[in-house]
Structure 1
Amino acid sequence: MRIRATVAALTGTLALSALVVPAAQAADEPNVPKFAPFAANAPVDEVVGDTKITKVAVNGGKNIVVGTTEKKKFTVAITATDPEGIYDADALLWHGSDIESDIDGLLLSDEAGATCKVVNATTSTCTVNVTVDPKLDLYSNILAGKWKVSANAIGNDGDYVIKDTVGYASIQRNARLTTNASPEPVKKGKTLTVTGALTRANWETSKYAGYTSQSVKLQYKKKGATSYTTLKTITSGSSGALKTTVTASADGYYRYVFAGTSTTPAVTSTADFVDVN
């Protein structure tokens, strides 16, 4: 099931609720509760029986980097255990301080059920897909950074567990970085000016904007060498602009490198080769 909710719609009790599977289902499907995200008056952090969630992995443990227009799909893998085995599981990501009363961001799983892989008789890892649309889901830049992960799991015997926070995931604003060294070619010993720009996705305008006051390294690799050396660290200015000078010594490659922040990923520019004569 795919739901996209606005902040205005996130009222009442925000939790996971149980919906009974119709009895008319096939005989091999147990009559256990199915979970629908955020139904009214549903419990939070509820445990019935001995079903347990032991691990949740979002996007394979990597940060989720989102630009201005392209949708980003990622997975949430829920590992759960029950003496009778696991029937199904689900997960969602939410942003705010309290899942019941203070939530300003919500990402639900794309499908009604998970794809579950049996680990052993008692344990399964169930995977759901989640799609984030920057134009619909990320209406504000305040949503960049840490999100909470909520999950549930259902045992074959009808036992279940609901946890409003079982882990965390980071959703970041995509970054871009450029480098241009001039003049080209340049005489040995002369001044080389290296410019560039550090920009990142602005989810409120659906455009890229300068990332100012950030430390960026200028690196150099001599032609034929295998690694880069950091020449200096400068700070991005207005509109994310970068500019510095170096003395040309030999043919080689120049690039800018940004280490990233909690809201913005690390990025390395394409290197610019300079012919020194």
Structure 2
Amino acid sequence: MRIRSTVAVATGVLALAALAVPAAQADQGAPSLDKPTATERFSGAEAPSARQSARAATALPTISKVTVNSGKDIVLGTTNAKTFTVSVTASHASGIYDAYVDLWHGTNVETDIDGLLMMNEEAATCTASSATTSTCKMTITVDPQVDLYANSLAGSWNVTAGVISNDGEIYWNDFHAKHRVQRYSKLTVNASPEPVVKGKTITVTGNLTRANWETHKYHGYTNQSVKLQFRKKGTDTYSTVKTVTSGSYGALKTTVTASVDGYWRWNFAGTSTTPAVKATGDYVDVQ
């Protein structure tokens, strides 16, 4: 029996055509992208009950949950690849046979896609919690030196989710959800002089940098609000003293008056493309 390529019409546009990278994107160094469609992904998955009978079509599978990287943002630096887990929980009267997830960057799956992260396995590992419901797990590996060739790829990515039931019914949505892929950030701090006389001036400096996926180096993140925080010796809580805007090369600098022993640090809240980061506190002895 040929498996039906019935596709659920959910919110958003569902693509059932092979993708071609626009010439303009290819000129900018985009890798060759070959995103599978529902038909291509499940064409060889002849589900067990589909072989047993040619019974009439039933309702499409439903997806109740898709989890990417345990719900956390995917953060990449300049060199190390990262492998994360994705899972799909779905239900169908006949049970769930297989599932698929990928992440893609762009606005139109047919004409505007410039980033693609696909699952490593040929098939998901599905564990049934009942006769109708299963959770299927798979992994995706992203290499910043291969998959993230441009800084413009940082931010929100589309999540494709698809499942096939035991009797061959397919749900597929290229806009099932959104997930963030971010540029790893670093933050340093130095408070001096150490030690310092009470009432004298302490100068606190530092640098806010983030991964550049085009040069594979860390560059300064300029014009960002960063909080200077202080924790008194013997306590556990930092409090904000002032807010400074990062300058050229992500440089941070300000002055404060020495009063008591304690730790100084910078705290960056993050943006949609760059995760939050806190510097390790620098201790200053006030005499």
Shorter-chain TM band: 0.7 to 0.9
Q: 1:48–1:161: 8 Å Cα contact kept in structure 2?
A: no
User: 5 Å matches for 1:147-226?
Assistant: 147-226=157-236
**Following superposition of structure 1 onto structure 2, how do residues 237-248 of structure 1 map, counting pairs within 5 Å?**
237-248=247-258
SS of corresponding position for 2:249: helix
2:84 is aligned with 1:74: yes
Q: Return the letter of the residue paired with 2:283.
A: F
Residue 9 of structure 1 pairs with residue 32 of structure 2: yes
Question: Are the equivalent residues in 1 in contact too, given 2:48–2:167 (CA < 8 A)?
Answer: no
Are the counterparts in 1 of residues 33 and 115 from structure 2 also a CA contact under 8 Å? no
| Structure (1 or 2) with the greater helix fraction | 2
CA distance in 2, matches of 1:80, 1:130: 19
In structure 2, do the counterparts of structure 1 residues 143 and 54 end up closer, same or farther at CA, with 3 Å as the change threshold? same
Q: Which residue of 2 aligns with 1:102?
A: 112
Q: How much does 1:158 deviate? A: 1.3
2:31–2:147 Cα contact (<8 Å) kept: no
Q: Indicate the SS of the match to 1:9.
A: coil
Bigger share in strand: 1
Find the residue that maps to 1:194 and give its secondary structure.
Answer: strand
Question: CA separation in 2, counterparts of 1:142 and 1:30?
Answer: 45
1:44-123 to 2 correspondences below 5 Å: 49-123=59-133
- SS of the equivalent of 1:168 reads strand
Note the C-alpha offset of 1:128: 1.0
Percent of pairs with identical residues: 56
Residue in structure 2 matched with residue 130 of structure 1 by the alignment:
140
TM-score (norm 1): 0.87
* Partner amino acid, structure 2, of 1:19: S
After TM superposition, the runs of 4+ consecutive aligned structure 1 residues lying more than 4 A away are 28-32
Cα offset, 1:49, TM superposition: 4.1
In the aligned structure 1, how far is the partner of 2:45 from the partner of 2:97?
12
1:233-257 Cα deviation digits (max 9, x unpaired): 0000000000000000011000000
Amino acid at match of 2:198: K
Letter aligned with residue 20 of structure 1: G
Provide the secondary structure at the position in 1 that maps to 2:70. Answer: helix
In structure 1, list runs of 5 or more residues that go unmatched.
23-27, 33-46
Aligned length: 253
Equivalent position of 2:244 in the other structure = 234
Q: CA RMSD in A?
A: 2.0
TM-score (norm 2): 0.84
- SS at 1:116's partner residue? strand
